[in-house]
Structure 1
Amino acid sequence: MAAFPHSPNSSFRRLRGRHSPAEFAALVRKAAREIGETVSCDARYIGRVESGEIRCPNYAYERVFLHMFPGRTLADLGFSPREAVRGRSGRRVAPAPVDPADLAHPDHPDHPDHPHHPTTHRSKESDVLRRAFMAGGSATVAAATLSLTLLGDTRRLPSRAGEAEAAAVEDAVRQIRLLDDRHGADALYRRAVQPLRTAYALLDAGATRQSTEDRLHAGAGELAVSVGWLAHDSGRYEDARSHYSEALATARVSGDAGLEAHAFSNMAFLARDCGRPRESVRAAQAGRRAARPLGSPRLLALLALREAGGWAGLGDRRACEEALTRAHTEFSRGPSGADPEWMSFFGEAELESLESRCWATLGEHARAARHARRAGDLQDPHFARNVALYTAELADDLVRAGAPDEAAWAGGRVLDLLTDVRSTRIRSMLDETARALVPHQRSPRVGAFLTRHAQA
């Protein structure tokens, strides 16, 4: 039986307006929090709605969308009636064939883990996953979901990879990014290494079609970058370097310029953190060459910021300022349909944070503190790990700018956030701030922070 074609949801697309899919997904998550809902909306979900793959949202999304667009009905938003989608009208409607890759997504109305799926006997494993992942539990529990939801072990691979395996690799990348945004890298890294091995084993096995093999190359490369970032953020720099190099090799084998630019961006970031600023500059410039034909000003802005960080490390203020000017110019061009999905984290808050690091490296800590404070104010609270990072940067800038009491206040806020976020990088930054505050421990606020930090 031939599959029914999807009709694009042009009404929903018009409502998105000039926002990119990633930006609109962030607005959906924000609206969900306003009414006490939890949805794992990302750019892919928005794309599936607009393409018509999702003909009717689940009940959680329905409440969020109607909250976002008061006075409108689901029909106004371009959706089909629920009974028509699920075959619950008076007459029996033959269900359309379902792509296994669609069913793998927990937001699909017919996914067995969907909260309102008619199936009453869910498996114990699926129920644990739904509670832990959708409710955003502790980092330890969230990390455990990776073993349930990502790719299986290499002993049970198909002889040839198909669409379902390619979709599983892509979903693994999204889940890792989502969990890292909420909880930080430390609890996730070891859990994420096995799915990466499986992704590359699938590549070795080959695919049923060339389009599937292209998806596998892109997915495995992005997974390598994501796992590399988990290693990077948890202080495992050599592991991170290995994973980023693996991603770069995958990009060049498959001719994927977007993946190549992503790998170089992260390599530039890692080189800066490892104290190799000239390598950071060169990696950022290589990333810019790869990214130039892609038509994404935001990607070029990020790479310019990576380059600026390298120039700051070399003490070249003029070159740093030139790179920062390029970054602001590209960023001001706004979002584009060519922006990679992984760049959903890169907004004005991240731009402010990366600029603050440049000024801090150049020794201008008061100026750095202004940018770090702005980053924290602009950051969506959903991204708990980034809020903690920007606040830790602010604390460090403040103590070095001669404002120990303010630094102690910011440090205390980081300690609050670290109850849910596990990041060696952030904790190491806070440790340095605490050491810098020791000469000011007679201040009641500083003393209280140092006591609490020591206990933590």
Structure 2
Amino acid sequence: MQRRTFVGGIAAAAAAAAAHSTPAAAAPGPSPRRIGMSDVTRLQERFAEIVASDHRHGGQLGIEQRAAALADEALNLQRSGSATQRVRASLYACAASFRSSAMWAAIDGRRYDDAQTHMREAQALAEMSGDQAIKFRIWSHAGSMYRHMGRPADAMAANDVARNLPITRRDPMFASLGMARQAAIHGASHEPTATRRAFERARDSMDRADKADYRPVWMLAFYDQAELDSLALSAYLALGNYPTAEFHAHRCLAGLRPHMVRSRAITTTRLAHAQLAQGDADAATATAMKVPAGAATQHARVSRMLQEFGAALRATAPGSPTVQTWNEHTTAWRTRA
């Protein structure tokens, strides 16, 4: 799918969203209240709470629903009073931010139809806001969504939209994230040379980034060397380069910040896969058993990866004490859940 296929229709969607947010004619009454940046600040604080909740729990339907409701709240403010053009643009950016978080929660929970619905609404709102950072987030999430759906060509097209936004030329950190996610897509496409080169460019851009530059809360909350290693882990697992995948897994786990609970569970599960693929069933099982029960049973991506791990373990060491230990452990997980 070419990039214009993704971009096509956004203008129409934006017009529809704008029409939806236009107040209907009403009888004369009291003057509408003035909407200001204090209202925007309050919404931005709620957005920070959504981001924090996502990093703790990830993929939960409740997070998706709260984010979608807050997007509607931001749009309702457009109808509740008068505001400057700057405030209105900021409200659209807030609504787009919430919709992008709803989109990501749906992706993380493997609810891809819902994710695509959120994506279309987020794209329309982002166009009306003119906010480059949130446009980048939405298109970059779209690339990740299609990668998880097994559609690498679409993933690359969506990620290219993000990488070609002007913000990636102004801020090397955005350029780095775009290249890191492109590398993960190359990994899913089984392109080892392109994967390695993309990660090299991502590291170079990260090294050039000014740590003092202002960046949005969603970027500050997750993108650092640990996330770069997480994407490398995903890519090298897909390529079947298990020693390199294990190296990045250990480095990611060492660098993850305490609030990255969801990411730690995903990385630990991927590390178990890399160890098992190298023939170390005992170490792999011990690693997989470190995943918290909540993530193992309630996070869709982690649950699926652990089911795949169990199937691979039984194929690798059928009837062994290690398999028995794993089966008993997963039974205890389900009991606690």
* TM-score bracket for this pair, using the shorter chain length: 0.7 to 0.9
Is the CA contact 1:388–1:417 (under 8 Å) kept in the aligned structure 2?
no
- Residue 241 of structure 1 is matched in structure 2 by 116
1:222 to 91, 97, 107: 97
- Residue 281 of structure 1 is matched in structure 2 by 156
1:343 and 2:215 aligned: no
- Residue 175 of structure 1 is matched in structure 2 by 49
Is the CA contact 2:168–2:174 (under 8 Å) kept in the aligned structure 1?
no
- Residue 29 of structure 2 is matched in structure 1 by none
* Closer, same or farther: CA 239–216 of 1 in aligned 2, 3 Å: same
CA apart distance, 1:195: 2.0
Deviation string 1:180-236 (CA, Å, 9 cap, x unpaired) is 222223142233332222223334556422221122121111111111111111111
CA apart distance, 1:354: 0.1
1:354 to 220, 231, 235: 231
Letter in 2 for 1:438: R
CA apart distance, 1:290: 0.7
1:304 and 2:164 aligned: no
1:162 and 2:39 aligned: no
| Structure of larger gyration radius | 1
- Residue 301 of structure 2 is matched in structure 1 by 425
Deviation string 1:115-171 (CA, Å, 9 cap, x unpaired) is xxxxxxxxxxxxxxxxxxxxxxxxxxxxxxxxxxxxxxxxxxx76643343223212
- Residue 253 of structure 2 is matched in structure 1 by 376
- Residue 437 of structure 1 is matched in structure 2 by 313
Regions of 4+ moved over 6 Å:
none
CA apart distance, 1:305: 1.2
Q: Partners in 2 of 1:435 and 1:204 — Cα distance?
A: 53
Is the CA contact 1:184–1:422 (under 8 Å) kept in the aligned structure 2?
no
Q: Partners in 2 of 1:226 and 1:207 — Cα distance?
A: 27
* Closer, same or farther: CA 160–239 of 1 in aligned 2, 3 Å: farther
Is the CA contact 2:67–2:99 (under 8 Å) kept in the aligned structure 1?
no
Q: Partners in 2 of 1:260 and 1:428 — Cα distance?
A: 30
Letter in 2 for 1:355: A
Q: Partners in 2 of 1:338 and 1:163 — Cα distance?
A: 18
Is the CA contact 2:58–2:299 (under 8 Å) kept in the aligned structure 1?
yes
Is the CA contact 1:172–1:223 (under 8 Å) kept in the aligned structure 2?
no
CA apart distance, 1:272: 0.4
Deviation string 1:1-51 (CA, Å, 9 cap, x unpaired) is xxxxxxxxxxxxxxxxxxxxxxxxxxxxxxxxxxxxxxxxxxxxxxxxxxx
Is the CA contact 1:437–1:446 (under 8 Å) kept in the aligned structure 2?
yes
- Residue 9 of structure 1 is matched in structure 2 by none
Identity of aligned residues (%): 28
* Closer, same or farther: CA 207–268 of 1 in aligned 2, 3 Å: farther
Is the CA contact 2:74–2:91 (under 8 Å) kept in the aligned structure 1?
yes
Q: Identify which of structures 1 and 2 has the higher relative contact order when contacts are C-alpha pairs closer than 8 Å and 6+ apart.
A: 2
Return the structure number with greater helix share: 2
CA apart distance, 1:289: 1.1
CA apart distance, 1:270: 0.6
Number of aligned pairs?
A: 298
Alignment of 1:83-162 (within 5 A): 161-162=35-36
* Closer, same or farther: CA 252–375 of 1 in aligned 2, 3 Å: same
Is the CA contact 1:308–1:324 (under 8 Å) kept in the aligned structure 2?
yes
Is the CA contact 1:392–1:414 (under 8 Å) kept in the aligned structure 2?
yes
1:319 and 2:194 aligned: yes
- Residue 250 of structure 1 is matched in structure 2 by 125
Letter in 2 for 1:199: A
Is the CA contact 2:256–2:264 (under 8 Å) kept in the aligned structure 1?
yes
- Residue 184 of structure 1 is matched in structure 2 by 58
- Residue 165 of structure 2 is matched in structure 1 by 290
1:415 to 289, 292, 298: 292
- Structure 1 gaps, min length 5: 1-157
Alignment of 1:56-71 (within 5 A): none
Letter in 2 for 1:258: A
Q: Partners in 2 of 1:330 and 1:437 — Cα distance?
A: 39
Give the match's secondary structure for 1:315. coil
Q: Partners in 1 of 2:75 and 2:277 — Cα distance?
A: 45
1:365 to 234, 242, 245: 242
Q: Partners in 1 of 2:325 and 2:168 — Cα distance?
A: 53
Is the CA contact 1:365–1:401 (under 8 Å) kept in the aligned structure 2?
yes
Q: Partners in 2 of 1:164 and 1:303 — Cα distance?
A: 32
1:404 and 2:281 aligned: yes
* Closer, same or farther: CA 214–207 of 1 in aligned 2, 3 Å: farther
Deviation string 1:390-432 (CA, Å, 9 cap, x unpaired) is 111111222222221111111100135638x942111211111
Q: Partners in 1 of 2:276 and 2:186 — Cα distance?
A: 24
